Structure 1
Amino acid sequence: MQEMIIRLRDMVARHCAGSAVRTVVPGLMFFREEAPTMPAEVLYDPRFCIIVQGAKQVVLCDRVFNYDARNYLVTAVDLPVTGQVTLATRDEPYLALCLTLDPGQIAELLLDVQDDELKHGPLCPSCMSVSPLTAEILDPVTRLVTLVERPQDIPVLLPLFQRELLYRLLQGPQGYVLRQIATSGSNLSQINRAMHWIRDHYREPFDIGSVARIAGMSPSSFHRHFRSATMMSPLQYRTRLRLQDARRRLMQGRADAAEVAFAVGYESPSQFSRDYRRMFGHPPVRDVSRIRALSA
């Protein structure tokens, strides 16, 4: 495993000069930081991530996930999280890679996999979890990443390497959750459908009943399954998306707090300020000034 980690570290370092680089391999990104970062609000789509040097902390509501080169992280649905690189130096920068997970590819694989080859039961308590990295997972990852240096092989070999990686993930402790997002009619696939709708319409007012109908559930069942998957209610999920968008807009400096509040869907600037302070610990203007000062 250590030899594979070193090989991956060298390739990421060689091909990632900036903070984030989208590689020639579809869905594969490299990341690099030469110092610990400030907490940043991001929306994680379904993805598989490993760190080959350094460490990172990801926070989902009140759950904290710390991981490094000994672990991998999987997110099964779109989740608004706070991410922060916690270990990085100029001589030993934080280096990581993430691969987007396609529920359609998982569904195709499930058609060819015997059910007794996969673990059963919700071994992971939510749709984001950290698990120990294994040689069986690192092997296809290493071969997949080498395609960055052999782009002519991507059309033929990428589907094979992706399939093997997904198979290993399905065999692991997070296999149950991944199976659910790829299974039509499962509770998680229904929740995922509603989450996509909220993500596209979070600036608009809506009631739980209308979104529950999109998921094909009763309001009470939808609320229960949504909270189980995301650790927040549907309205809290919408609020986090609004506030993440608001913080980005404020950092760009193109509008004041009231204008941003209306732009992300709030009807009351005072309610926006209260929600913003509750989530980020400071009122909007003070929070942005603090981040800029710390960054400088």
Structure 2
Amino acid sequence: MRPELSRLIGECTSSGAADGVTNLGLGDAVILRRSHPSDIEGTFYRPLICVILKGAKQVTAGTLSVHCPAEHAIIVSHDLPVLSRITEASPDAPYIAFVLPIDLGLLKSFYDQMPDFTDGPSNAAALTCHPVEPDLLDAITRFLALARGNDAAPLLGPILIREIHARLLLSAQGSILRRFLRRDDPSNHLARAIASIRASINEPLSVAALAELAGMSKSSFHAHFKAVTGQTPGQYKKEVRLLEARRLILETTDAISSVAFDVGYESPAQFSRDYARKFGLPPREERNRQRQQLGNARAA
């Protein structure tokens, strides 16, 4: 590991450093720090690169699953409901990760400058893990150093964000992202269908309408969707519904039945069963547990 990167990680792992999310003040880039392995957490990933600097993480989306150790990067190309778990972390050697949302519009702006690539199968998965290439890691190291309070950060930060995107696009692991540069690639069509699913989670799922939106036959759409996301369209929509429901359960005081209807369930009882199967507790119990934990924290 580069000495400069080791120094920067050392600052993040010092005894005075706090767990949590640290905004770097340059775009939407953040540093994540955890001192202990985590439970399995359901969350929603937008397109991003997550570079594991220390520790390790497991991420699963349907049939897709990656275990990412240090100096590897998780790349997510499409909006994905996932289960994630930090598997290696301790107070002496905390989990440290650099996360940068991927700007697909910025990637597409590089179209005219891109060299020709011969990429692999058209159904590249939307969740992958690869060793970080040296040039990409170098750009990230310079970005982290700049974020430590350099006066030139407002000027150079956006330039380095562009470089990180360009390095990622040119890298061996950038295959799925390069597909977004081709307007006729299934990756673009699936992104439109996924956006439609997310915008209408409380409405019945019509695979025929989604396939038409993607410009594919139903069978082709179903096969491409499963290959890229690791889930069928129906499974994907169910996962999105449950993640949104969990947000409402934990962040609002809405009645459980109201939350069920808001995310498209017709039966609150079925909703509670699906919720418990997904998150380990029925929605009411999880809400009560969170309130108790908050009360204990305030009392302490």
TM-score range, shorter chain: 0.7 to 0.9
Q: Are the aligned partners of 2:32 and 2:96 in contact in 1 as well (CA < 8 Å)?
A: yes
Q: Which moved more, 1:234-243 or 1:87-96?
A: 87-96
1:220 aligns with 2:222: no
1:76 aligns with 2:77: yes
Change (3 A) 1:11 1:144: farther
What letter matches 1:56 in structure 2?
Answer: K
Q: Are the aligned partners of 1:12 and 1:97 in contact in 2 as well (CA < 8 Å)?
A: no
Q: Distance in 2 between matches of 1:150 and 1:61?
A: 41
Deviations 1:209-267 (A, max 9, x none): 22223323333322221111101111211110111122233334724432321122211
Q: Distance in 1 between matches of 2:157 and 2:181?
A: 20
What letter matches 2:10 in structure 1?
Answer: D
Q: Are the aligned partners of 2:123 and 2:224 in contact in 1 as well (CA < 8 Å)?
A: no
SS in 1 for 2:25: coil
Q: Distance in 1 between matches of 2:56 and 2:293?
A: 21
Q: Are the aligned partners of 2:123 and 2:228 in contact in 1 as well (CA < 8 Å)?
A: no
Q: Distance in 1 between matches of 2:67 and 2:147?
A: 28
Q: Distance in 2 between matches of 1:81 and 1:62?
A: 11
Q: Distance in 2 between matches of 1:210 and 1:246?
A: 24
Q: Distance in 2 between matches of 1:264 and 1:161?
A: 40
Q: Distance in 2 between matches of 1:221 and 1:241?
A: 22
Gaps spanning 5+ residues in structure 2: where? none
State the Cα RMSD in Å. 2.8
Instruction: Give 1:93 deviation, angstroms.
Output: 2.0
Q: Distance in 2 between matches of 1:43 and 1:268?
A: 24
Change (3 A) 1:122 1:164: farther
Q: Are the aligned partners of 1:76 and 1:177 in contact in 2 as well (CA < 8 Å)?
A: yes
Change (3 A) 1:123 1:31: farther
Q: Are the aligned partners of 1:215 and 1:222 in contact in 2 as well (CA < 8 Å)?
A: yes
Q: Which moved more, 1:86-95 or 1:34-43?
A: 86-95
Q: TM-score, normalised on structure 2? A: 0.86
Aligned partner of 2:110 in structure 1 is 109
Q: Are the aligned partners of 1:24 and 1:151 in contact in 2 as well (CA < 8 Å)?
A: no
What letter matches 1:81 in structure 2?
Answer: V
Aligned partner of 2:141 in structure 1 is 142
Q: How does 1:268-283 map to 2 (within 5 A)?
A: 268-283=267-282
1:266 aligns with 2:265: yes
What letter matches 1:59 in structure 2?
Answer: T
Instruction: Give 1:84 deviation, angstroms.
Output: 1.5
Gaps spanning 5+ residues in structure 1: where? none
Q: Distance in 2 between matches of 1:216 and 1:16?
A: 50
Q: Are the aligned partners of 1:123 and 1:174 in contact in 2 as well (CA < 8 Å)?
A: no
What letter matches 2:90 in structure 1?
Answer: T
Q: Are the aligned partners of 2:26 and 2:154 in contact in 1 as well (CA < 8 Å)?
A: no
Change (3 A) 1:288 1:67: farther
Aligned partner of 2:10 in structure 1 is 10
Equivalent pairs counted in the alignment come to: 294
Q: Which moved more, 1:239-248 or 1:215-224?
A: 215-224
Aligned partner of 1:175 in structure 2 is 174
Q: Distance in 2 between matches of 1:289 and 1:63?
A: 32
Q: Which moved more, 1:201-210 or 1:238-247?
A: 201-210
Identical aligned pairs, as a percentage?
Answer: 33
Aligned partner of 1:189 in structure 2 is 188
What letter matches 2:105 in structure 1?
Answer: G
Deviations 1:129-169 (A, max 9, x none): 00012322210111122231346434542343233323332
Q: TM-score, normalised on structure 1? A: 0.87
Q: Distance in 1 between matches of 2:238 and 2:151?
A: 44
Instruction: Give 1:176 deviation, angstroms.
Output: 1.7
What letter matches 1:183 in structure 2?
Answer: R
Aligned partner of 1:95 in structure 2 is 96
Q: Distance in 2 between matches of 1:254 and 1:49?
A: 33
Deviations 1:40-88 (A, max 9, x none): 1111111011122222111212433211213111000110001122222
